[in-house]
């Protein structure tokens, strides 16, 4: 009788561990996002939008850092902090249907056309030092995290982000 009870208990414990592991595998991914710049007095470069031929992203005076830069498909939470001391920034998640093509851009407004670009959600304008959170369900594919405050995207304020199956 003791031997049967012990086997049953071990079987139950193994089942609980496997169920707990499955639940953990489906838990939301959390991404830490920093919106940064070198200060409002530094001249913003142009021509640093994603997929610009000959672009040198090292010349950017502002940017987005996401850690990690890849997660599994499913629920993803972005914890976003504007690390600037004097500039408002935002973070928008854009799905890239074709990662080799640039996002649709409105030159007159100096910003991405969010309606045409595949906007999946955003943390709207954050004052310097402020934080915000966004949770979205993302399918596998390539994404771009951008700041769409006029001029910021073209100045290099974007980061590639991958969602794996």
Task: Round to whole Å and give the CA distance between 8 and 104.
Answer: 61
Write down the pTM of the prediction: 0.82
Whether 117 contacts 110, CB under 8 Å = no
Judge whether 2 lies within some domain.
no
Report how many domains make up the chain: 1
CATH number at residue 139: 2.60.40.420
Residue 95 in any domain: the answer is yes
- Does a structural domain hold residue 21? no
List the domain range (segments joined by +) for residue 132: 28-164
Tens of pLDDT along the chain (165 residues) come to: 444 444 544 444 444 444 444 444 456 899 999 999 999 899 988 889 998 888 888 889 999 999 999 999 999 999 999 999 999 999 999 999 898 888 999 999 999 999 899 899 999 999 999 999 999 999 999 999 999 999 999 999 999 999 999
80 in Cβ contact with 91 (< 8 Å): yes
Asked if residue 13 is part of any domain, the answer here is no
CA dist., res. 55 & res. 79, Å (int): 28
């Amino acid at each position: 009788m003791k031997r049967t009870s012990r086997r049953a208990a071990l079987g139950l414990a193994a089942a609980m561990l496997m169920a707990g592991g499955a639940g953990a595998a489906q838990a939301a991914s959390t991404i830490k996002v920093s919106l940064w710049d070198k200060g409002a007095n530094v001249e913003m470069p142009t021509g640093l939008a994603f997929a610009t031929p000959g672009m040198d992203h090292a010349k950017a005076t502002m940017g987005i850092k996401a850690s990690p830069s890849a997660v599994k498909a499913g629920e993803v939470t972005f914890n976003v902090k504007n690390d600037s001391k004097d500039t408002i920034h935002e973070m928008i998640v854009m799905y890239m249907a074709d990662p080799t093509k640039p996002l649709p851009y409105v030159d007159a407004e100096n910003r991405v056309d969010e309606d045409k670009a595949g906007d999946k959600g955003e943390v709207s304008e954050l004052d310097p030092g402020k934080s915000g959170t966004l949770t979205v369900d993302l399918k596998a594919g390539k994404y771009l995290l951008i700041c769409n405050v006029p001029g910021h995207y073209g100045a290099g304020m974007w980061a590639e982000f991958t969602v794996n199956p």
